[in-house]
Amino acid sequence: MSIFTHVCLGANDLAKSSAFYDAALWVLGIKNLGPMGDNGVLYGTSGPEFVVLKPRDGKPATHANGGTIGFAAPSRAAVHAFHAAGLAHGGTDDGAPGPRAFTPTAYAAYLRDPAGNKICAYCFLPE
């Protein structure tokens, strides 16, 4: 059982953000499940688990200092594909693909989405 029903991130330009997430998450097996009205886009593997949306209060979306959302990657190659797809679709690098020292098999890449939100993809399988 998951501890979350869903996770949301704000977007200032929904079209730009959805193009970024469509590319970066697709390589991890996470699909665009369609619009959430005019204000958001739903993503998931079998149902909506992740939402990119315009803030309800009408103010600009901002990112959290220290906040990161991590997505599971099925392989180290998928970590590289996630990073490359995100960069090619408006994201910025916030940590190139490679090993992470906190566990022997941790392998990850970090990106900032078009609104500045920090996301990452992690694989914990050995090479």
What percentage of the chain has pLDDT greater than the value 70?
A: 99
Over the stretch 68-115, which tens digit does the pLDDT of each residue have? Answer: 999 999 999 999 999 999 999 999 999 999 999 989 999 999 999 999
Q: pLDDT tens across 33-54, in order?
A: 999 999 999 999 988 999 999 9
7-53+69-123 belongs to which CATH class? alpha beta
CA 100 to chain centre: 18
Contact assessment for residue 91 and residue 20, using Cβ atoms and an 8 Å cutoff:
yes
H or E element that contains 14: helix 14-26
φ/ψ of residue 113, rounded to 5: -80, 175
Domain spans in the chain, listed from the N-terminal domain onward:
7-53+69-123
